[in-house]
Amino acid sequence: MSSAEPTAKDARRAARKERRRFWRRHGLPNLVFSLVLATVAGCALYLLMGRPVHAPQWLVDRIQTQVAASTDQGSLAFDTLDFVIEDFSYPRVRMNNVRVLSAAGDEIVGFAEMRAGLSLPALLSGKFELTSVNVSGVFASLRRERDGSVVLSGGFDLGAPARQEASFGALIERLDTLLEQPELAQLRNAEIQALTLRLEDARLGRAWTIDGGRVRAERSGATLRLTSNLALLSGGQGVATLDANYSSQIGSTAAQFGLNVTDVAAADIAAIAAPLAWLDVLRAPISGAMRGGIDATGRPTELSATLSISEGVLQPTDATRPIPFTSAQTYLAYDPASGVMRFDALSVASDWITAQLEGQTLLNITDADGLTDLVGQFRASQLSANPDDLYAQAISLDGAGADFRLSFNPFHLEVGQVIFEDEGQALVAPNEAQNALAPRRAAGPRGVRR
């Protein structure tokens, strides 16, 4: 073998030298650089945890452009944008003085601050997909017109033009359409704090203000759930509270709702739903719970309620003499298909009458006028009565039954058959006695007719 030919040992030595040169040229510097970069990035993220980082103007412009491109219904405007890293997997942004604008540039709703969680995978690919939203300092107005349409306006200029829909159902459908946008596909929860909302009903000529309200929305699959805690101001003394919940399938009009109220004026309860409009004859605070819903066609389903009425008066009009009572409680259920409201339990305590009652009413409700009149049939037990202190002491009977018709515009009570039961005997009252059961008419043309 010639000495000029390389041996296997020389070949191995040459290979090792080549590998060392390769790692010096490529591997080791890159590895060290990667380690240093990761360390610096980790330290930077750690130092920035919980600290806002002001976004540059080009990023602000890009976000606004992407929001405008994602929908032709409006745009988003805000004064400042900060990034807040609360943990390594859920970056958040914070916006101040946020305005939601219509396609024409009019402000629909505005709020002082918004915090939003972002999808990290989407963010790394240059997209902004919301996972959560928290807004505070919201000012808005919701008005129902005489034709049943609803108008949503708001922002810092409550008189600004706004979105109008044919009904509340159409407004819910608009919300569903918004949630089906690709940019909101990852949105799981949203919350509104410090909500100031003015509610107006042109049909009833009434207005309410909700102050310091809180609303939370959660999406699980195709199910949307809303909960709210609200303080209701209606011009009277004190503050009433409402706790409401709502659930539906996104894309469907059908929904279920619940409402718990505390010390809400009877007139305000009467304005919530037409089947409860008869409560407008009372001047008293009411606490209780209601459950109901709407079907796929937008029509109401069965409504049930448990109501506790505190001390107050029965006074249908300002010209009618008030009839005082101490308290009343009832459990009722209303079937909109038949128009029948069933009272499974109704108790009344007053100086005029104390009784346990049960019965039902047939409600005449129209889309144009709401509740116009009702026909009722009730039976009383444990009855004790002394209307207007007519007797030296209250008269106690085993029971009684009565049929009546009650009209509301104008207020008019017609008493039909009245039967008194005592000691196994029944007495049918003559017309004069029936008329005496109606509240006395005060001076003025709007009193109770007999």
For residues 287 and 262, the answer to whether their CB atoms sit within 8 Å is yes
**CA-CA distance, 44 to 38, in Å (whole number)?**
10
pTM for the full model?
Answer: 0.72
Long-range contacts of 78-86 (CB under 8 A, 24+ apart): 78/114, 80/54, 81/54, 81/55, 82/52, 82/53, 82/54, 82/55, 83/52, 83/53, 83/55, 84/50, 84/51, 84/52, 84/53, 84/115, 85/45, 85/48, 85/49, 85/50, 85/51, 85/53, 86/49, 86/50
What does the pLDDT read at residue 352? Answer: 87
Ramachandran assignment for 135, one of left (phi > 0), alpha (psi -120 to 50 degrees), beta (any other)? beta
Tokens linked to 2: 């010639």
What does the pLDDT read at residue 424? Answer: 74
Per-residue pLDDT reduced to its tens digit, 100-133: 776 676 676 677 888 877 776 666 666 667 778 8
Q: How many CB atoms lie within 10 A of CB 271?
A: 21
**Banded model confidence at residue 436, pLDDT cuts 50, 70, 90:** very low
Q: Is the pLDDT of residue 34 over 50?
A: no
Per-residue pLDDT reduced to its tens digit, 133-183: 888 888 777 888 877 777 777 654 434 445 555 556 666 666 666 666 666
For the chain, give every domain's residue range. 48-171, 311-450
Tokens linked to 142: 């919701």
Tokens 């004069």 correspond to what residue? 432
**CA-CA distance, 341 to 364, in Å (whole number)?**
11
Q: Considering Cα of 284, then 285, then 286, then 292, what sign does the dihedral take?
A: positive
DSSP state of 252: -
Tokens linked to 274: 């037409």
**CA-CA distance, 352 to 156, in Å (whole number)?**
52
Strands 130-144 and 189-201: parallel
